Amino acid sequence: MSSNILVNLYFVLPKLFRNTLTKFILSREGGYMYSNTIRTIYSKERNVTIGYGSYGGCFSKKNIPSGVTFGNYCSIAPEIRIFRANHPKENFTSHPFLYNPIAGFVKKDMLDRPSLIVGHDVWIGELAIILPGVKNIGNGAIVGAGSVVTKDVDPYQIVAGNPAKVIGSRFNTKIVSSLEQTQWWNFSKDELLNQVDYLKNIIRTDQK
């Protein structure tokens, strides 16, 4: 059964049966890390893009809003939270009465909800919170557990705390440049397995 057929079947099935189909797809395609069909479903259903090899909380329907893109091979803890809008503070009230149609006054969502791009090989620790001011988290970045991220994170930076601050960098600029040139995150699982020793050697050589 082709991926396109499975995707179409998912959207015509009653919600009660979608979990069963999801389990079938995952068992057939190697789980959340590698399933192309599940990624297509999430993109169509939730406007969330999840790259190949990424796993964990990026698949949370509760915690990940629309408009978020995760790169390839990201490690996302189960209970991170991403917010794409704040309560407005410029008007007489910050209550949703003025911006959320659920409150019964406005007819559509009045808030600007900017997109968020999470790069490749990003690790976001448990209970981290990503606030609306963040537009980009760069390749190779690490967000420590429990961090509250209020601004963009540069590639290969390690940030932690509330508010999150830079506490280090994974590698020196030479290693970063070498890794970026390989674009290893575009490899399939099998291709990556064949390149592990080469990529490890980049780290060893440039650290000497």
Reading the block at residue 202, the tokens are 């980049």
> What pairs with residue 76 in β-bridges?
56, 124
What strands, in cross-sheet order, belong to the sheet with 75-76?
55-56, 75-76, 123-124, 142-143, 157-160, 165-169
Residues ≥6 apart with Cβ < 8 Å to 52:
34, 36, 39, 72, 73, 188
DSSP per-residue string spanning 158-187? EEETTTTEEEEESS-HHHHHHHHHHTGGGS
Cα 35 from Cα 26, distance rounded (Å): 6
Annotated catalytic residues are 87
